[in-house]
Structures are given as C-alpha cells and as structure tokens.
Copies of this chain bind each other. A is one copy, B any other.
Amino acid sequence: MVVKYVYFFAEGKAEGNKDMKNLLGGKGANLHEMTALGIPVPPGFTISTEACVFYFKNGTFPPGLKEEVEANVRKLEKITGKVFGSVDNPLLVSVRSGARASMPGMMDTILNLGLNDQAVIGLAKKTGDERFAYDSYRRFIQMFADVVMGIDRGLFEERLRSKKAEAGVREDFELKAKDLKELCDEYKDIVKKVSGNMFPQDPFEQLWMAIESVFKSWNNKRAIEYRKLNRIPDDWGTAVNVQTMVFGNMGFDSATGVAFTRDPSTGEKTVYGEYLTNAQGEDVVAGIRTPKKLKELSREMPEAYKELLEIFDLLEKHYKDMMDIEFTIEKGKVYLLQTRVGKRSARAEVKIAYDMANEGLISREEAILRVDPRRLEQLLHPMIDPKADKVFITKGLPASPGAASGKVIFDSDEAADLSEAGEAVILVRDETSPDDIRGMARSRGILTARGGMTSHAAVVARGIGKPCVVGAEEIEVDYDEGLFRIRNIVVKKGDIITIDGATGDVFLGKVPTIEPELFTEFNDLLKWADEIRWIGVRANADTPQDAQRARRFGAEGIGLCRTEHMFFEGERIYAVQEMIIAKNKEEREKGLSKLLPMQREDFKGIFTAMDGYPVTIRLLDPPLHEFVPKTREQMEDLAKRTNTPIQDIALKSEALREANPMLGHRGCRLGIVYPEITEMQARAIFEAACECTKEGIKAIPEIMIPIVSIKGEFDNQKAIIDRVAKEVMSEKGVEVAYSVGTMIELPRACMTADKIAQSAEFFSFGTNDLTQTTFGFSRDDIGKFLPKYIEMGILKEDPFQVLDQEGVGALVRIGIEKGRSSRSDLKVGICGEHGGEPSSVEFCHRVGMDYVSCSPFRVPIARLAAAQAVVKDRNKRKRLPH
C-alpha cells in the first residue's frame, strides 16, 4: 500500500480541508480550507502527522516521502514561476510545525528557506532591493543555524553588534547592503567553525534538515512539558507546512499584521487588529515598533483593507465563528498566513454566541453550546482591574471567585463587628470552622492558610458568594502576634490586602476592581437555555437574602436550605448551646422553644422570597459539638449565661467530642436520639408555612431528612414530621401541601434506595458526603494527598469539584434506579457542590434527575450547562444510525 504523506494547496484548490486536523494539524487544515474558499493564501503543501509518527517509530522518513516532497516542490515552482535556488527568481519557503492541538511557540518555524549564495542574488534582482535580499539571507542563516543546527544564536548577535559598531550605527536597519553581505559571509564562517560543516547551499538539503528539525521539535523539552500540562497525547506527532514566502517588508505598500473578526474582549462586531507596514511577522512579535490599529489601514491601503474586510466576512460565514488571522500584504496584495477560531474573554464568548445566533449564522442551540459555562463564573463577581498596578505576595487556591480588598483581621467576631461598623475586612485564618460563619458572612473576603477547594471556608464562601482564597500554604499565621508572614514579608492586623478568588492571587494594599454586570445578551442567552433544558435549576440558600439573590439569578426553587447555618446568626447560638448542654429533655425543650420563633421567622422570609416555588429544608445536620464553645473563655461565658458550672460544660463538650465527626452523631441520628429537635424544626416550618398561606403567599415546603442510611431512620423522622404537621395545621386552621424526602448521601442509602423510596417522596443526592464516603476521603484532610494524586494522574480532577461519574456516579445511578423501581414518580435532585459544575450537571441530566441545586452564583452556569446537555443529547442522537 502506498501511503500519501503530502497534501498540496494553491490557487483555490486544496487536497485537504478544515476537518483534517488530525492528519494536517490545525494550521495546515485551515490553510487548505482557506485556499479552497478562494482566499489568497501563499501556495504550499503540508506533510502529514503520519509522516512524523512514522519518523519517531522508525527513526527514518517514511519510504516515498522524498519523492512526494520533491514532486510538490516542483508543483510550487510551476505555479509560482519561481525555482528553488534560482539566481533569477528563487523560490523561498517557510517551514512551520502545526499539530492537531494548538501549541503556541512550542515548536519550530524557519522562514526564507531556499536562500543561498545564488538565490540571494536572484532575490535582489527580482525585488530590486539588494539590502532586503542580504538582510533576508542574514536572518535565514541565523534562524537556520539556531533552530536546525543547534548553534548558539548569541554568536550571531555578537557579530551583528560588532558589525554595527564597525559601521558606526546603532540600529539594524541602518546597516547597508554591503554590511549585510559581509555579515552573511561572517555568519557562514561561524557555522563552519562551530559545526565543522559548511552552511548548506542546496535548498533541498536545507528543506530536509528543516523538516527533520520540525519533527524533532515535537519532542523538545518545552513541547513535552506543554503536552503534559495540557494533557495532549505524546503520540500525535506534528505536521509540517511548507509554504511560499510572502514579504510584508517589501516597502510601504507592504505590511504584516494580526486581526480578529470581532473584538475578542467585548465581543463587539468591529474591526480589531494591529499591523506594521514594511515589516515581517517577527517584527510584530519583537515589539520594536508600535503597531497601528487595523482601522488605520483603511486610510493607508484602502484596497487591501477592503479585501481584508471581505475575507473576514467570508471566514465568519464559513467557519460560523469569530476567527483570528495572520496576514501579510506584499506590495499591496493581501495574503492570509493562518486562521483559527479566536480566543476571547468570557464576556465576548457570550456576546458573540448571542449575536451570531441573531445574525442567523448559527442556531440558538449552537449559540448555547458556544459558551463554556465554566467561564461564566468570572462574569458574576467583581474582578481585579487588569490595568491596575499590584504588589503580588502569594498565591492560594481559587476557592470562590471575585476580588475583594480590606483590612486583615484574624478573629471572626472582631471581623464581624468591624464589618458592621462599616469597615471593609478580609478575614484571615489558618482554616475556618462553623464558628466563623458570622465573621465570614460579614467580611468582604476570606483567606486561609490551609484547606482545599472544598474545605469549610471554600464551601461556605461559594455558598454565600464571598471571594475566597484557601490553602495559601506560604502563609504562617501568628494569632498571638496578630500578624501573618509570607517568607520575609510581614502583614499585620489592620493592613490592607486584596484577594482574587478567581485566580488565588493575594496582593498587598488595595487593588482596584471592576464590578460585573448581568448584560442583556447574557440574560437573553440564559432564557434560550431555559427554553431548551429539561432539568430544573434550584439554589442552595439558607437565608431570605440568599433566596432573593437566587431568584434574581433564575433559580426555580430552593434545593437545599441548611437550617444549621441559621443557628449561628447573632444571639441564636446561645439558645442552641443552652439546648445542647441541657441535662434532660425538659431543659432541652426550653432551649429549643427559644429557637422556634427565630427559625419560624427565617422560614417565613424564605417562603416569601420563593412565593410559589418549592423550598427544600434540610433538618439539622452537623454534629452538636460544632455548636459548643471550644476555648476556656467561651466556656466561661456560656457558664455565666446559663448559670451552669463550667465543669459541666467542659464535661459535656468532652462527651460530644468525636473521633470522626463526619461519620458521627449527626443528621437524622440526632433527630432520632433527640426527637424534640425534629419536632421543633418541623413546627417552625409548618407554622411559617401556615402563616404565609394566610398572608396569601404560596409556601411549598419540602422537608428533607439528612444522613439516612436505613429506611427505619427515615420512617422514624417522617412520623414526627407528619404528626407535627397535623397538629400545626389544625392549630392554625390552614392546610399546606408538603412532602417529606431524604438526602441520599451515603452508599447504603443508594444500595437500599428501593426500600427508602417506599417512604420518601423525594431524593436529593448529597454528593459532597457521598463522595467522601465512596472514596473514603475526608474533604478536610485531602490536602495531604489529593494534589499529589492529580499531579501523578491517579485522579484527573478533584472529585469534590467534578463528580466522579465512574464511582460516585455509579452509586447515584443505582440509587435512582432502585428509588424509582418502588416509586415511579420519585422526584430526584442533587444539592452537593456538583450541582453547579457543568460536566456534573450534564451527568445529572443523563441519569434522569429532575433538578440540580447549587449556590446562587452558580445558577446561571447550571442553567446553561443543563441546556447544553439537551443539545448534546440531540446531536448525539442525530449522529446515531436510525
């Protein structure tokens, strides 16, 4: 079998097209595509990646390649009328790498190949510009020696400096043709001296050396590193593009530049680009001269400008996307050297997708697929002003996006107090605990030295939408001294810092930020998404304020209202503690009766904000010791308040201590041992719902029992709830429809979901705890090994951020299947951190959940991801044979 390795493109005809990226690389495929579109592209050919793969497998070029390349060079000569090495009209080419995936700057490029002692004369003759010809030759020798022959470019630059000194000039362009000609000879001498070989004069020899060099560059250190970072397989190989040279440096009717078909920053449909007249591509990159805005070209070269605009239009209509391009104008004639889909800001991504749909270029479904939901997050929080000056001091994990500045405060209560007094505060802690909630909620942002992306600080911060950087390991907090250290930098209490929760960066002082806006296109795109998606999107919200925010972001209900977060608000914690240190049921009920009206008011506020939408309320979940005082001081305070001997409090506190609180006495296990807690919470919910109903507000409570692993646990708690519901409704004389369901967050709940669903009216997968128990990972402790796992590739992603579909997902599937096997109309949702993570939302759609629930700030992300899941599903079905 004869394998074809070389693909030709020229004059409106091409052997390849844009869909042949695997074979021709990204750059090559698009050169073929543009050529076929009739766009002016310097003619050339592409050596396929298969040739490269063969080369690495066998250590030699594949048989037949030589002949194919030579035949293609002959075709080039024929089309251009130029000849390789000709002393009259020499053919010059560029040799560029181009892999499947973009690897910018990682591999080699050689320009002006084909120049030799003869051809340089031809070039001078043809262009009538001897200086240009020898300048080109000089550049070629240096580039070839450096890139292909591995000779230190410093030697050539040294020579160039000497030459300028000899000529008494300062700048390269001040050198005369004679100087450059001498330089060429001197460069060739350097090559001879260092390599022991003459600089190759045969253009074919040059070409083969260049091709081999491009192949080898696939395995240079930079490229390997880049592939590792970007998870690009090592066995893809690179293609090689050999293309006739065009010159943007042939005078003031020549130019070179880059452009985007729309503004990549704002998405506006406007001309956006830069160019340099009389320059080569490398000059733009080198930044020696300041490029001009592309608009100026309309004045300088109106014809070329017009042609470019037409090409932009053609490209967008053809590629149906915003493109970036490299172009060269040689003596007034426009050439495109590259095109690809343009990178853009998140904001531009949304606007371009929306606009293109409205322009009829793409469908609404395509527009929805065009936006990466992961990137939306940056649109929903304040951002560091990219133009601002900043003093970077350290970096942690980007736990909750948004930027914030404020005074460093180490104590949560102090942070809360100062915040209430109007100060901007950043709470800095080693790590946070539920005790810190008040301080966290009041501060502008949170910075911790320890903890991972799903540590307490990170989870709470995302929930309440506060900027947060965690695990900034360089930080050593010294609470006693009231300062923290980063290497030799000392930041004292009261000093101002700025954190960027989107990057993990920490800066000294106040850095200006930009406020985000939910612009029209974004809103409208999400409305399209809402029309397409099947799966509902709810929010996790614990307060009336959160609930209102959730509605503004489009949540269709609350999927998780954590009642315990209410326990920390203000003076409530005192009533909670009173309840906990109670010696018997009566005392405990006394403490609970103080909490009842507070919880009821919260629920009323939430029902009101969610008027007509369901509110899933989870009963008390964390172990009681999270609420009891830890320091001697706090214990003394509690002792005084409750008139209890401090020893009793210390003893109680000790008795509540647990070896593994995550697996301890929490969730429904509390409500079973202390049914009065469940009673109080149920009463607060139903009293609130009844009162709302009387006021004309439609309250739809869904009561959720946490940490169920046994049907009997659920039945026990449901019986209490149903009894209290009956009592309250009869007291209030109002009927309120409600349902009772459970969190599914333990493997046993999944395995026995058929049993549990006999009693439970809905399931909400708590994938945070389910991930912890399925992997046996404590999310507070994974910092010691998870980063290593990801670095070593044992795990691709942090399973607390991206749902582990293989393991945890398999349990979720079993849970849903079993659950619906005994209750076909079982409502199923998710309320773990994953509910706002795009690939996890897609999974939830695929396994047939009814809704996802996530923090309010992630609601737009979930709405979009849910719509994408539907579109991808449809597209997949279209591709399947019928």
Contact = CB atoms under 8 A, between A and B. Distances in A.
Interface stretch (A47-55, A111-119, A226-234, A792-800): A792-800
Contact of A811 (B745, B747, B792): B747
A751 B806 CA distance: 8
A794 B713 contact: yes
B659 A795 contact: no
Contact of A709 (B662, B745, B775): B775
B663 A772 contact: yes
Interface stretch (A276-284, A534-542, A664-672): A664-672
A663 B810 contact: no
B661 A793 contact: no
Contacts of A745: 776
A519 interface: no
A713 B789 CA distance: 8
A1 B789 CA distance: 74
Nearest to A714: B794
Interface residues of A, number: 48
Interface stretch (A440-448, A593-601, A777-785): A777-785
Contact of A669 (B658, B672, B785): B785
A665 B788 CA distance: 12
A259 interface: no
Nearest to A769: B776
Nearest to A656: B784
A774 B748 contact: yes
A773 B746 CA distance: 8
Given A746-B774, A780-B660, A795 B665 contact: no
B795 A712 contact: yes
Interface in A723-751: 745-748, 751
B785 A673 contact: yes
A673 B788 contact: yes
A529 interface: no
A707 interface: yes
Interface centre among A672, A755, A775 (most CB of B within 10 A): A775
A811 B752 CA distance: 11
Given A659-B661, A663-B776, A794 B672 contact: yes
Interface centre among A716, A773, A810, A811 (most CB of B within 10 A): A773
Contacts of A773: 663, 747, 773-774, 776
Contact of A662 (B659, B665, B788): B659
Contacts of A746: 774-776
15 contacts: A659-B662, A659-B780, A660-B661, A660-B662, A660-B781, A662-B778, A663-B663, A665-B785, A672-B785, A710-B775, A710-B794, A712-B792, A712-B793, A746-B775, A773-B776
A650 interface: no
A63 interface: no
B808 A748 contact: yes
Contacts of A747: 747, 773-774, 776, 807, 811
Nearest to A664: B781
Interface centre among A752, A772, A777 (most CB of B within 10 A): A777
A633 B500 CA distance: 44
Contacts of A806: 751-752, 755
B795 A710 contact: yes
A778 B664 contact: yes
Interface string A783-824: 011001100111100000000101110110000000000000
Interface centre among A662, A751, A769, A808 (most CB of B within 10 A): A751
Contacts of A751: 774, 806-807, 810-811
B748 A663 contact: no
A808 B776 CA distance: 15
B811 A663 contact: no
Contact of A776 (B672, B748, B780, B795): B748
Given A747-B773, A788-B672, A793-B712, A778 B808 contact: no
A747 B751 CA distance: 10
A836 to B, nearest CB: 23
A696 to B, nearest CB: 41
A124 to B, nearest CB: 62
A346 to B, nearest CB: 33
A661 B713 CA distance: 26
A794 B712 contact: yes
Contacts of A710: 775, 789, 794-795
Contacts of A659: 661-662, 778, 780-781
Contacts of A804: 748
B776 A807 contact: no
A800 to B, nearest CB: 12
A662 to B, nearest CB: 4
Nearest to A804: B748
A773 B771 CA distance: 10
Name the 6 nearest CB pairs between A and B, nearest first.
A663-B778, A660-B778, A712-B794, A748-B807, A659-B780, A747-B747
Nearest to A806: B752
A658 B811 CA distance: 27
Contacts of A794: 672, 710, 712-713, 716
Contact of A789 (B672, B755, B774, B795): B672
A551 to B, nearest CB: 33
A663 B716 contact: no
Given A713-B794, A751-B807, 8 more contacts: A660-B660, A660-B662, A663-B663, A664-B781, A672-B789, A746-B776, A747-B807, A751-B774
Contacts of A673: 784-785, 788
A512 B788 CA distance: 58
A785 B713 CA distance: 11
A684 B60 CA distance: 47
B784 A665 contact: yes
Nearest to A786: B669
A663 B777 contact: yes
A581 to B, nearest CB: 16
Nearest to A655: B784
A776 B709 contact: yes
